[in-house]
Amino acid sequence: MSSVLEPDMNAAAAQGLERTLDRTLDRANSDVVLVVDDVPDNLSVLHDALDESGYTVLVATSGEAALQRAKQALPDIILLDAMMPGMDGFEVAKRLKAMPETAHIPIIFMTGLTETEYLVAALEAGGVDYVTKPIKPKEVMARMGVHLQGARRARQEARQAGQARNALDAFGYASITVRLGGEGEGKLIWQTPLARDLLLRYYGTSAPQTPEPVLNWLRRHALDVTPHTEPPRLTAELGQRRLTFRLHQQTGDGEIGNAGEALSSDWLIVMREISEDAIVEAMSLSFKLTAREAEVLYWVVKGKTNRDIAEILGASPATVKKHLERVYVKLGVETRTAAAGMAMNRIRQLHPQFEG
């Protein structure tokens, strides 16, 4: 299995290392471990044992190098020596946990200090576990296995949640996550691209700021969410457009205290903009209609005659009639009433607030 050691690097060597990392850090085939220790013998023992067991191994011999390597490679787990000259392991861990891109990486401390105060300091600095020196590679890998399994599961869940939430954007359902309680009280901590655009347009705000009306609504109704009950929705208006907010669920994220109590909770809010344009676009996607065919069908749903529709769209009644005939074929219906009824049912599925 591949490994990446830490030479004294100039700029050219650093670029070469980046190319090496691109080739070697294949998480589909192996977990990536960063080992940080200023003692070459310790590095050698762990490097060889981990490499033989199928891990991709990176090493760093100082705190500064560890931070650089962690940001560059985003390893799956870090084995970190507690006592190093210069920046010690405790400080390295604190800095890693303070950076959003590395905060999720589990850290196992390696220490020859067994006094309780040092072990507590390791955990308080952000470590998930520790092993004592002299290092026993089998023990280290057993501990790693436990934490890697949890990290893999968390990454997979986050990836699936992100994919699902971003997929909602394609159907016009934007989503945000807002934190209640704890250090991040009231902050917007996650949003899809569509949600960012909508909040900026309707409220002129951007993350991490949650619009005040949204935050107040969430605080009032967060406790009302049950599997069978949906709290009242929030609506914001902008001209002919309306933005509705639906309190979807508590995500299961948030901050947990040392005693296991929840210090904060994160709430997923789904947003949907209602407008003529959005409804026409939804019908176009749903029934595989052209933009003009969808417009004609929309005005049929609104009860307009072909002549009315022609005036609205700036076309002739004959052209409207041809578009409508193609709509009948695509919907598999034969009458204006049947087409309108089918379209109305689909619109109400996508836009429950729509009134024909």
Structure tokens given for 195: 């949600």
Query: Coil, helix or strand for 98?
Result: helix
Contact 130, 114 (CB under 8 A): no
Question: Helices 63-73 and 89-98: crossing angle, nearest 10°?
Answer: 30
d(C-alpha 62, C-alpha 43), whole Å:
12
Give the DSSP H/E element, type plus range, for residue 110.
strand 107-111
Query: Coil, helix or strand for 236?
Result: strand
Structure tokens given for 169: 């954007």
Amino acid at 204: G
CATH of domain 3-158: 3.40.50.2300
Q: DSSP code of 263?
A: S
- 174-274: CATH topology: Beta-Lactamase (3.30.450)
Rounded to 5°, angle at Cα 30 from 28 and 32: 110
d(C-alpha 254, C-alpha 215), whole Å:
17
pLDDT at site 336: 92
The ranges of the chain with pLDDT < 50 are 1-26, 28, 260
pTM over 0.75: no
Judge whether 174-274 and 277-350 match in fold.
Answer: no
- Give tens-digit pLDDT for 276-321: 777 788 788 888 899 899 999 989 988 899 999 998 888 899 999 9
| Domain limits, the chain | 3-158, 174-274, 277-350
- 277-350: CATH topology: Arc Repressor Mutant, subunit A (1.10.10)
pLDDT at site 215: 94
pLDDT at site 329: 94
Tokens 């041809």 locate to: 322
pLDDT at site 332: 93
